[in-house]
Structure 1
Amino acid sequence: MTGPAGQGGLDGHGGASVRIADALRTAILDGSYRPGERIRQEDVASRSGASRMPVREALRVLQAEGLVTLVANSGAWVAKLTLAECAELYQIRERLEPLLLRASLPSLDGGAIARMTEFAKAMEAADGDVAAFLRADRAFHWASYAAAGPGETREIIARMWNSTQHYRREFTRMAVGRAGLGATHLEHQLLIDCIRRADPEDAERVLVMHIRRTRSELAGHPEIFA
């Protein structure tokens, strides 16, 4: 994933645990696993040719990343949100992500702006391919935060991006099926312009609007959270 991978805490079975965590993370983020779906450790162990110990270690990593819910003496499930929980996470994102962008912006150089521009072009070229759009979208935003360096704010935001991935995918599908993603593309271009002008106030305003618009759209579709 673009952004912090959060792979600390692997011990004893490091190589297998990392490999299993990577495979499960990709499957969850691309929608192969659905929110609330059970992840059976014995199935994962069988597919990966590993024992259950590295599977358990991988699941603990994914829990820390906001992708998995572990229940003692019961098992593991893909994290699922209610509408209220999703709205709360988006409200937190509206406040934290502008702080991370402000910290990053002074050190974003021409190379960073060029990368963001390429990711924005990739989103526009996705042409209804939701998976391709989401990959480029994640890369775009994490490129804008890259110069802020590591820290707790970055880790918190990474977990919230993971937890809300499924619902961001549904928002994108709805937008593609209706008027398209023109407003989203425009907001990305506005963010690039703010960064190019080194204007943190404008950048924060655009980013808040960008995140809030998704939250407002999701609030009108409670069936997504059923």
Structure 2
Amino acid sequence: MTTEVEAPNNVLSARIADDLRRAILSGELAPGERIRQEELAEQFGASRIPVREALRILVTDGLVNMVANSGAWVSSLTQEECSEHYKIRERLEPLLLSYSLPNLTEEDLEEISSLVEQMKNLDDIETFMFLDRQFHWATYAKANTATLSDFIERLWNTTQPYRRVFTRMVRSGGIEITHLEHELLVEAIKRRDSEEAERILHGHIRRTRIELDRHPEVFEHQFDTGK
């Protein structure tokens, strides 16, 4: 049974986790940046208990790395690790889409089409990334899976900072390819052509991986994560 003391801590832990998650995914906190628990406790007027619980939540999400007797850092990847994460995504996200596609309703199709239109002609990268994430997860929303969605979401979280760099790179030329791939994906989904939709999605993710593989400098200026 939850006690009166525990309930406020649980609520506070969730609030701290939500705030940190937003800061990490938006790029406000960079890969490898130290997270100081005492500063968080002071910021939220909390004890160390809800702060530690919030960090444990974010470790599960793939957003934070905790080192025993050392501290907590925003998760970071080497170029090799990031490439591996993308290769896993290339293979598993089409599978997740195949589970979802037959269950998507007309309302779902309208939503994903609207998100594609909203992403066009955007100058703000953060808004683009937010809508892009909404778009892809809207296509996965009706997948009835026990573990696959959670696993893939963790991979999205760990690769988010590097996807941001990729998005900045393609803004200078080539963003039209991203829009075209989105449109082709939507059309395949509307036709309920799972094989074609999976093929397009695989290539869409693979293109990002290949581009990041060509830019080792993306991974050279990260903080010390205490590993």
Same structural fold, with TM-score higher than 0.5 when normalized by the shorter chain: yes
Structure of greater relative contact order (alpha carbons < 8 Å, 6+ residues apart): 2
Residue 183 of structure 2 corresponds to 189
Q: What's 1:151 paired with?
A: 146
> Displacement, 1:47?
1.0
The count of residues paired between Structure 1 and Structure 2 equals 215
**What's the secondary structure of 1:164's corresponding residue?**
helix
What is the aligned counterpart of 1:15 among 11, 16, 21? Answer: 11
Post-superposition shift, 1:150? 4.6
Give the residue type in structure 1 aligned to 2:216.
Answer: P
Residue identity opposite 2:218 in structure 1: I
Letter matched to residue 38 of structure 1: R
Residue 24 (structure 2) pairs with residue 28 (structure 1): yes
Q: Please, which of 108, 124, 129 is the counterpart of residue 129 of structure 1?
A: 124
Is it true that 1:167 corresponds to 2:162 in the alignment? yes
Q: 1:12 Cα shift? A: 7.2
- TM-score, normalised to structure 2, is 0.92
Q: 2: CA distance between counterparts of 1:56 and 1:121?
A: 41
- Write the deviation string for residues 186-205 of structure 1: whole angstroms up to 9, x where unpaired: 11111110110000000000
The one-letter code sitting in structure 1 at the alignment partner of 2:167 is T
RMSD across aligned C-alpha pairs, in angstroms? 1.3
Aligned structure 1 segments of 4 or more residues deviating by more than 2 angstroms: none
The match for 2:68 is: 72
Structure with bigger gyration radius: 2
Separation (CA, whole Å) in 1 of partners of 2:161 and 2:48: 27
Whole-Å separation in 1 of the counterparts to 2:140 and 2:100: 5
Q: Give, in angstroms, the shift of residue 117 of structure 1.
A: 1.1
Structure 1 residue matching 2:65: 3-state secondary structure:
strand
Unmatched 5+ stretches in structure 1: 1-9
Deviation at 1:100, TM superposition (A): 0.4
Within 5 A, what are the aligned runs for 1:78-93? 78-93=74-89
Find the partner of 2:217 among 213, 216, 223: 223
Give the residue type in structure 2 aligned to 1:43.
E
CA distance in 1, matches of 2:162, 2:146: 26
Secondary structure, counterpart of 1:13 in structure 2: helix
> 1:150–1:45: structure 2 CA closer, same or farther, 3 Å change rule?
farther
Tell me how far apart the structure 1 counterparts of residues 201 and 90 of structure 2 sit (CA, whole Å): 8
TM-score between the two structures when normalised by the length of structure 1: 0.93
What secondary structure, in the 3-state scheme, does the structure 2 residue paired with 1:54 have?
helix
Name the aligned partner's letter for residue 20 of structure 2: L
